[in-house]
Amino acid sequence: MLEVSDLSVAYGQHPALNGASLRVKRGEIVVILGANGAGKSTLLKAISGICEGRVSGSVTLEGEELVGLPPHRIVEAGVALVPEGRGVFGDLTVMENLLLGAYAERAREEEAGNLDRVLSLFPKLGERRGQQVRTMSGGEQQMVAIGRAMMSNPALLTLDEPSLGLSPLLSKELFQSLKAVRDTGIGILLVEQNARASLAIADRGYLLENTRIIHEDSAAKLRSDPAVQAAYLGGGKGAAKPAPMVAKPAAPRPSAPRPAAGPSPAQIAAAAMSGFQTNRAPRSEPAPKPQPVAERPRAPAPPPPPKPAAPPLPPRASAADAILGRSVADLVAKAAESSRARVGTGVTPRPAPRPAQQDRRPAQPMPDPRADSSDRLKSVLAEIEDAAARARAWRPDTHRK
Ligand SMILES: Nc1ncnc2c1ncn2[C@@H]1O[C@H](COP(=O)(O)OP(=O)(O)OP(=O)(O)O)[C@@H](O)[C@H]1O
């Protein structure tokens, strides 16, 4: 189903992925193991079309080439990403977050069925459908993130360190849920630092070291391989010792998806979903993402510049709309408002880079002017608002707020 061939990524002069080749079949869980900075997140971002670096090589899903496609087209092709840090909308309810995931064209006809499937896989989401996501536990928020990705009706679900910041108990629950997702026939590509738990549910695995895939095997063989045990499972007495895994600091780099020219509502929603973080008071498990003090004071985003009139959006009435009596366009508008409010109150949606990551970055700054995350954020906000305004203008009176 997914075939990655000779995929390479460079950030300026800095190679982050070198000639990676892998495959994921339907109903298969494949895990990528590797030390910090090996290129795991870069691999997932390149597959999803949101990589800031220069990408070459080939990624096909069911034979369709994805390299070069904008992110929303890749979602339409059947790839859903659960980004590191989840990227759920904390100000919206569980159901609102789920419905935002159904924005892809491929999801619309199947929306009611997808919602049923998500609610039967994660019954808690049904029970909590009206709860504001920021008030949920880290594990529950991760379920929302996975549920929302599944609402796009994907053939392939990719997840970037979903167990990061979760307690052992919640991680266990999460991995069991991924098994249940796999059993629905979806392929899963999983990047994880928790090698033990991920190999326990995976069918196959790849070792990614220093930008290159160095080994592939069944999960069972990887688990019993002394070198893998030494490097990733904290065991393997006397075994050869590849680069040891370092405990990962829990804050992502400040990159954000690139707003491409002429974004569609689906692309805007996808960009927004992977671009914003939730801000939640910690409960039982440790807060996954401390907010960096230096990034906090922010000026309110300026009003978006006037844009030329855009064509109206197509009509949309769905089973889920009927359930909630609201349209997804309304939800996008609400998401825009809540994101704007967060910027206005000085809460940064993108935390600062991990210190360990900063050290590895190339000495020369990237020439890309979009590297300023606050500019990117403002630009994404403006696009969301623009799409929401267009959507509201189009909807019949009965659907307006
Ligand atoms: N936007 C970027 N600009 C410049 N360099 C980057 C960027 N993103 C990642 N890198 C660099 O590319 C390399 C691979 O990073 P990547 O995030 O893919 O690693 P990783 O295996 O996911 O690590 P971790 O487990 O720490 O998240 C690192 O050296 C990193 O510093």
Predicted complex ipTM: 0.97
Q: Which ligand 1 atom sits nearest the alpha carbon of residue 191?
A: 22
SS3 call for 245: coil
d(CA 293, CA 153): 38
Decide if 160 is inside a domain. yes
pLDDT at 337 over 60: yes
d(CA 355, CA 146): 28
Q: Domain with 275 in it: what CATH number? A: 3.40.50.300
**Which residue minimizes the CA distance to atom 8 of ligand 1?**
42
d(CA 387, CA 373): 21
| Per-position DSSP letters for 279-328, written without gaps between them | -----SSPPS-PPPGGG---PPPPPPPP----PPPPP---HHHHHHT--H
Q: How confident is the model at residue 94 (pLDDT cuts 50, 70, 90)?
A: very high
Note the pLDDT tens digit of each residue in 214-233.
999 999 999 998 888 888 87
Decide if 340 is inside a domain. no
* 366 close to ligand 1 (CB < 6 Angstrom): yes
* 192 close to ligand 1 (CB < 6 Angstrom): no
Number of domains in the chain: 1
CA of 20 to the centre of ligand 1 (A): 15
Question: Among 11, 194, 274, 376, which residue has the most ligand 1 atoms within 8 Å of its CB, making it the best to mutate?
Answer: 11
CA distances for 274 relative to 142, 151, 259, 350, angstroms: 13, 15, 12, 10
Please report the pLDDT score of residue 86 as a whole number.
76
Note the pLDDT tens digit of each residue in 112-143.
888 998 998 888 899 999 999 999 988 889 98
CA distances for 67 relative to 5, 64, 80, 267, 287, angstroms: 11, 9, 15, 16, 35
CA of 298 to the centre of ligand 1 (A): 26
Decide if 323 is inside a domain. no
Please report the pLDDT score of residue 284 as a whole number.
37
CA of 225 to the centre of ligand 1 (A): 27
* 41 close to ligand 1 (CB < 6 Angstrom): yes
Domain holding 248, by residue range, is 2-289+349-366
Q: Which ligand 1 atom sits nearest the alpha carbon of residue 255?
A: 1
d(CA 132, CA 335): 12
Decide if 335 is inside a domain. no
**Side-by-side strand order, sheet with 156-160:** 79-82, 156-160, 187-191, 29-33, 204-209, 212-218
